[in-house]
Chain A
């Protein structure tokens, strides 16, 4: 039995027994290798679930949809290791109760699909622990090195060109499981922190703030990159910040559901060299 069939059977069992009220998974998309999120609440519909190496979206963001978990019923969701880390972060930030989440874990290595054993987030500790040791990192390492070697002026020019493409559609924010604020800072107009129009200044501010708010929280699932209609290398900035946070605070986001958020905690001996 394929993993897809196993998971379909498990979804059917959970839904018909009432153990979960909904299964969030992948369904067929508009073209051959596209997958779209589907939300199944009837056991008769489990046949629509698809699982293959094209299932790359991180679905964890749907769990914080308003009211979804407030009836304290369980919800099942298909997640790759990044998604499981996202659950840990959301739980650590009190956005959801991890016990309400039933995980259908899977991963894809070299186009080969494999199932990850476990139901609740704690059971995947080994899988996500290995990310800490050997972070695959989706970011374009060559480009990262190239940018790091630039002078400040060149870097500014590089990002100016990239951000000039931004149309402020906020698809990166909508796609990100970590961007759950009821009212995003860019939606605030009293005071208005970020210029709303999509000129370079507003684009700079938006992209800086977005990256800052994701520092130490991003799981590098790549939802933002894929959502960006103008292909700004957003994941690259997030990856850079993850590297910085690891170096400065020995922190990798989403390792457990009780991990303290890095910017909401401190150590008395955090060491820096730049404060005069």
Chain B
């Protein structure tokens, strides 16, 4: 197999800002890496850390989380809560050994189509360089192995 590695990236975005920003990138005909699968949620405050773990569990090489800039939340403070949660969760993942480069966070507004495209491109490149998340896929592989006697 000599095919180049194409990372699988899952993006959890809020519908009011980043999803609209992705829309703008599309309608502006901006080209960006096709490696990202976007999952739209009402607010970053709705993004449970379980989502990130679930994405990794299902074989993602990288996870993105993005929403409205602080102060711009449609629900006034969902992203402030999310920010605290991310600060703690990111430290925890780091301590457990899941590299912080694989889980990225950003604020992208509905007007920032260009920022969205650039963000996706740069993260895709970074994760391409890191390669597949082998340590985690080994864990996933173990779940399929028949029980040893």
| Chain B associates with chain A | yes
- Give me the interface of A with B, judged by CB distance under 8 Å: 147-148, 150, 152-160, 185, 193-195, 197, 199-202, 204-205, 207-209, 211-212, 215-216, 237, 240-241, 244-245, 248-249, 262-268, 270, 272, 274-276
Contact A241 B88 (CB under 8 A): yes
Contact A266 B80 (CB under 8 A): yes
**Across the two chains, which residue of chain A brings its CB closest to B145?**
A199
Using Cβ atoms and an 8 Å threshold, which residues of chain A touch B32? none
B84 in complex: contacting residue of A193, A197, A262, CB < 8 Å: A262
Chain A residues, CB < 8 A from B70:
268
CB within 8 Å of A: which of B127-149? 135, 139-140, 142-143
For residue A153, give the distance in angstroms from its CB to the closest CB of chain B. 7
Give every chain A residue within 8 A of B84 (Cβ-Cβ): 249, 262-263, 265-266, 270
Q: Is the CB of A240 within 8 A of B50?
A: no
List chain B residues, Cβ under 8 A from A274. Answer: 86, 90, 100, 105
Contact, CB under 8 Å: B97 / A156: yes
Docked Cα-Cα span, A166 to B100, in Å, equals 25
Judging by beta carbons under 8 Å apart, are B97 and A275 in contact?
A: no
B75 at the interface (CB under 8 A from A): no
Q: A152-B98, A194-B53, A241-B88 are in contact. List 20 more A-B contacts (CB 8 A).
A: A152-B94, A155-B97, A160-B97, A160-B135, A193-B54, A195-B57, A197-B143, A199-B142, A208-B53, A209-B49, A216-B88, A237-B92, A244-B88, A248-B88, A263-B88, A266-B77, A268-B70, A270-B83, A270-B84, A274-B100
Contact A266 B81 (CB under 8 A): yes
Contact residues in B for A155 (Cβ distance below 8 Å): 95-97
Q: Which residues of B contact A244 (CB under 8 A)?
A: 87-88, 91-92
List, in ascending order, chain A residues with CB within 8 A of B71's CB. 268
Residues in B neighbouring A204, C-beta threshold 8 A: 96, 139
Partner of B106, one of A153, A200, A209, A275: A275
Measured between alpha carbons, how far is A109 from B98 in the docked complex, in Å? 38
Q: Are B97 and A158 interface neighbours, CB within 8 A?
A: yes
Contact A209 B50 (CB under 8 A): yes
Q: Report A269 CB to chain B, min CB distance, Å.
A: 9
> Which residues of A have CB within 8 Å of B81?
263-264, 266
| A-chain residues with CB within 8 Å of residue B90 when the two chains form the complex | 274
**Which of A193, A237, A249 has the most C-beta atoms of chain B within 10 angstroms of its own C-beta?**
A193
Report B-chain residues with C-beta under 8 Å of the C-beta of A193: 50, 53-54
Check B30 for interface membership: any CB of A closer than 8 A. no
Complex: A255 Cα to B91 Cα, angstroms: 23
- Residues of chain B within 8 A (CB-CB) of A276 are 104-107, 119
Question: Does residue B37 face the partner (Cβ distance < 8 Å to A)?
Answer: no
Q: Tell me whether A185 and B80 are in contact (CB under 8 A).
A: no
Q: Which residues of B contact A153 (CB under 8 A)?
A: 97, 135
Q: Which positions 84-125 of chain B face chain A at CB distance < 8 Å?
A: 84-100, 104-107, 119
